[in-house]
Chain A
Amino acid sequence: MTSSPSEVEEAAGSGPDRSLADRAAEAVGGVVLAAVETAKVGISADRWVASLRIARDELGLGFFSWLSAIHWANDPQVGDPLSAPVIERFELLCAVSDLTGGDLVVFSTDLAVVDPQVESLVGVFAGADWHERECREMFGITFLGHPLPENLYLPNGFVGNPLLKSFALLSREVKPWPGEVDVEDMPSDGGGG
């Protein structure tokens, strides 16, 4: 899907949130990215904290909804491989909203797959604290200046970052998912019902 940034921009802007995404992209100096019925704006990693501050102070998006990441990888240990090859990277996402009309913008930035680092948002949105801790342990992303960079869910000393596409789901390694048979046959196969 999002095989290259330029392709993404071309497909951008469908849906009713076009104007919101445009406004947000203009305010933070980013680009509108493709998403269905969702305003999504791409910014560079060095403008991450500054952009979210602008979103809060100038766009009125003062409600911190969530922060997470996507590991774009070509050779996943879990799940199906992507239909087209991608540049392997992390995409960091942060969704902020206003509390009147319900405008929500998802900000996105790309981080290198080796030693991913970004400034912590805790100074702008206090609620980013736990979300960044989760992201740190699940993806191995370092949030510079985070007040308590410790595991949130996983026990101390846990090796690996579970939400990496390269992190195998061990139960699957041992035994194939029995739910596979739940996918119903097509009627022509004589199954179904």
Chain B
Amino acid sequence: MGEVAEMTMAPEMVRQLAGASVSVELETPDMTLNIGPQHPSTHGVLRLVAKVDGERAFDVQPVIGYMHRGYEKLSEVRTYPQITALINRIDWVSGYANEIPFIVAAERLMGVEPPERAQFIRLILTEMARISSHLVFQASYPLELGAATPLFFALRDRERVLDLIEAVTGGRFHPNFNRIGGVKPAVGAGPTTRKTIQDLPSGFLSETRSAMDRVLSTVDELEDLVAGNEIVMARTKGIGILPPEVAMAYGVSGPNLRASGVPFDLRRVSDYLPYDRFDFEIPTGESGDCWDRWWVRLEEIRQSAAIVRQAVDSIPSGPLQAKVPRIIKVPAGEIYVRAENPKGEMGYYVVSDGGLGPYRLKIRSASFSNISILPWILEGTLVPDIIAIMGSLDFVLGDVDR
């Protein structure tokens, strides 16, 4: 290396540095992406804060609490019959189903067995709530993936089901229909002093049969419409895979768990309602992706419709109410009763001291545990897949926040 070399070094270095500056990755700050709390795909008011690197999202933190109404605290100053009005509003898409485990918990602490007919009515309405909830999912999920048509099919038949629920209970969303020891006398059926002779509205059973037929044909239509769609398949197959062991550790339950291949359904193993008298299958998925979660819910509508038809055909006659005191006092004790709700395991841990209301009520809601999986399942996913995965988990923020 002589003088000449040194002299030519400077422009060479400049060239090298210029080249180097292009090849070295630029140090850029992480971009933070906020989704929600008012984004339509969040089913209420959920906010996601994600760090985004190009098209991939990392370190996704859900921010919840916008719907927190403090039901566990409020329950401590309510009587048992008053609490059903609160818990209707936990998962409002299936308000009726929320009441069941709480009422059963109170009944078991009291040692009250509701009459068979009341249990059948509870079961029929619970399955209708499941159909209605899953139809909302069948309406909203394709919409989130960009398909608007299934919404009209699904919501049309959801109305038929809600009409039937309303005909019995007087409410579409918040029936507040269960009583400790049975169910409320049917709406418009006369004064409450004659409650033993009042019952389901006339024509209910035949209307229900034809509504279930319609629901089944709509499910077929939805399957034709969605299942063969290339875009839906591309957006959901292999996306958002949830392995069963992860689902269990997070407490993910219901259709989300079954889509991961775990054939667990509380209707099979628990006796909160007389499900053991009916034939139905438990659909499960294979890979636990968004597609499986969609398919399991579609198939569950068919199974629920089958249960409703069997129950309508075999409903026994008899009273709607067991004998209970006019003022409900629940004996001291603790109990946990859980039920297979449309969104998953819904349970109530009731601590009674023998008073008019519980000393403590812990509400275990399905959506809370189901979306606690979001940071895990969204790690490293593409930004548009966030919407596909969130939608496939089918949560309701009222059920998350309580």
Which residues of A come within 8 Å of B, CB atoms? 1, 34-38, 40, 62-66, 68, 70-71, 78-80, 82-83, 93, 95, 99-102, 104, 106, 125-127, 129-130, 138, 151-155, 162-163, 167, 169, 172, 177, 179, 182-184, 186-187, 192-193
Contacts and interface: CB of A to CB of B under 8 A. Distances in A.
Contacts of B327: 183-184, 186
B249 A64 contact: yes
Contacts of A83: 332, 353-355
A64 B249 CA distance: 6
A99 B262 contact: yes
Interface residues of B, number: 61
A63 B64 contact: no
Contact of B354 (A1, A35, A167, A184): A1
B70 A70 contact: no
A153 B372 contact: no
A93 B335 CA distance: 12
B368 interface: yes
B353 A70 contact: no
Given A100-B264, A102-B269, A104-B338, A162 B73 contact: yes
Interface string B328-339: 000011111110
Interface in B371-390: 372, 376
Given A68-B362, A80-B357, A100-B264, A35 B79 contact: no
B248 A99 contact: yes
Contact of B193 (A62, A100, A193): A193
Interface of B: 64-65, 68, 70, 72-74, 76-79, 81-82, 108-109, 191-193, 245-246, 248-253, 257, 262, 264, 266, 268-270, 326-327, 332-338, 345, 347, 349, 351-357, 359-360, 362, 364, 368-369, 372, 376, 401
Contact of A153 (B65, B268, B351): B65
Contact of A93 (B68, B356, B359, B362): B362
What is the predominant secondary structure among interface residues of chain B facing chain A? mixed
Contacts of B372: 127, 129-130
A17 to B, nearest CB: 10
B245 to A, nearest CB: 8
A80 B248 CA distance: 37
Given A95-B364, A102-B266, A169-B77, A152 B355 contact: no
Contacts of B351: 70
